Amino acid sequence: MLKRLLPILFLAIIYTSVSHSQNLADSGYYYQKIGLKEKAAGFFEEFIIQNPSNYQVRLDLGYLYYDIKQTSKAREQFDYVSKNSTNENEVQMAKQMVQNIDGITAVNNNQQVYSTGGNYADSGYYYYKNGNKTKAAQMFELHLKDKPSDDNARMQLAYIYYDQKKYSSSLKHFDYVGSHTSNLKLKEQSKSASLVLRDELAGTSKKSVEIYFHNFYDTHQENYIANLVGHVNFRIGPGFYAGPYLDVYTDSRSSKNLIYNDRFVEAGLFLRYYIMRNLFFEGRIGYTRQIDLDSNKINFKPMLVYFNRFGNAKVYVESKSSSKTSFYFDIYYAAMYDYKYKNAFLQGMLQQVLRFHTGGYSYVENYIFESGQFDGRKLGYNNYFEIGTGIRFKPNLMVFPVIFIEPTYKVYFFGDSKNSFQLKAGFVFNYKAAF
């Protein structure tokens, strides 16, 4: 049976590698659209590392750097295109921008002193245009004291604070615009940026909480399965987090004589280190109750986890928007050793998702997924490949569980478990926030 699955796994790996780079560009264009330009530039940079001869993306990156006043980086991209592209239009555009940047540099060498005799908003835009974001923020703050309803100035101030990594200040202004503006475009941009920013704020805060709850009913097993994982994170250094955790995995049918899943309740302390943005090592030590084995013990669990999302996953879309669809691709891999079961595990999942927004935070998703798990002891219920499709729905609330229903086919590699078709229905709650 494993030989039959190898071509499927091979195709999944190929699909992952092909989709990865293009979705980096898609993510760049999405974050550029909602105004998080430096984040967009990061995705474009990753894309051109893998695709150095994609001169259109290089041009777009150059224009983006030019827009946020990083002229040396902009010139580097335009200069590369002008010397390497075989497209005459791209070469001419790049050369023209190199000339423009060189001209601006020459003028700035004889920089005139600006008089702030005009209004604060004009001063803010002037300082921002000339790269002095600190002074620009001061001017916009003064302007908003007199004219708090100037949504454009408030958005500009929010973007400045975001670029300066002053996330709390940035979030305050994005939230204000999202709640008060009558401009549909600004409302969509501000609410999208707010949700993205909340996630980043949780990731950089000294204290944060993570809660994951996944539960569903399996028609083949006639079994209700639930998994709850919670972390309270305290940042103790760059990339290092520690704190208490809770991990619960259970179902309604397993017993000592017939185990469908390894059921347990565990609580303890963890230490996590982010090797890269989407790759971390976590070590846990805790006290665990093994339900089906009727055993209590101290457990140690090291794990290595990689996760990422590629593509244009819009988070907020106005009901009158002309563009309500987005596509993204999720990937997850984990390797771990679980002392309480004296067993090692490998897990993986690929997911391709098409999202249709129904207004605000609400959406309907159609998706396909492929997942697998292996263990070192070759226990039948722990070694399988599963493929399926599904539909998900999220109501128009920023924080709310996502309801799903999915038909799947499961192939077991070892033991007496027979391959099965099942229908699963339940909800997923994923929450992360600073406190």
User: Do residue 316 and residue 253 come from a single domain?
Assistant: yes
User: Do residue 426 and residue 322 come from a single domain?
Assistant: yes
At 414, which CATH number?
2.40.128
Q: Report how far residue 217's alpha carbon sits from residue 365's, in angstroms, rounded to the nearest whole number.
A: 20
Domain boundary residue, one of 65, 85, 108: 108
User: Do residue 216 and residue 236 come from a single domain?
Assistant: yes
User: Do residue 324 and residue 229 come from a single domain?
Assistant: yes
224, 251 Cβ separation under 8 angstroms: yes
What per-residue confidence (pLDDT) applies to 6? 44
288, 269 Cβ separation under 8 angstroms: no
> What are the structure tokens assigned to 214, written together?
């996944």
In a domain, 13, yes or no: no
> What are the structure tokens assigned to 22, written together?
């293009």
User: Do residue 132 and residue 74 come from a single domain?
Assistant: no
User: Do residue 321 and residue 413 come from a single domain?
Assistant: yes
In a domain, 55, yes or no: yes
In a domain, 214, yes or no: yes
In a domain, 1, yes or no: no
7-43 residue pLDDT tens: 444 444 444 444 455 667 777 887 888 888 888 888 8
What per-residue confidence (pLDDT) applies to 22? 60
Q: How many domains does the chain have?
A: 3
User: Do residue 28 and residue 65 come from a single domain?
Assistant: yes
Domain boundary residue, one of 108, 142, 159: 108
Domain boundary residue, one of 185, 204, 223: 204
Q: Which residues fall within 8 angstroms of residue 51, CB to CB, at 6 or more apart? A: 21, 57
Written as one letter, the residue type at 420 is S
Domain span at residue 177 reads 120-204
Angle at 72 between CA 66 and CA 78, to 5 degrees: 65
User: Do residue 200 and residue 258 come from a single domain?
Assistant: no
Which residue stretches of the chain have pLDDT < 50? 1-19, 106-107, 109-117
User: Do residue 55 and residue 154 come from a single domain?
Assistant: no
User: Do residue 127 and residue 76 come from a single domain?
Assistant: no
User: Do residue 161 and residue 101 come from a single domain?
Assistant: no
217, 201 Cβ separation under 8 angstroms: no
Closest residue by Cα to residue 91 from 123, 124, 67, 56: 56
429, 213 Cβ separation under 8 angstroms: yes
In a domain, 11, yes or no: no
Exposure of 273 in the CB half-sphere (CA atoms within 13 A): 5
Instruction: Give me the long-range contacts of 8-15 (CB less than 8 A, separation at least 24).
Output: 8/370, 8/385, 8/387, 9/372, 9/385, 12/350, 12/370, 15/350
At 188, which CATH number?
1.25.40.10
In a domain, 15, yes or no: no
Kindly report the pTM of this predicted structure. 0.76
In a domain, 12, yes or no: no
User: Do residue 188 and residue 318 come from a single domain?
Assistant: no
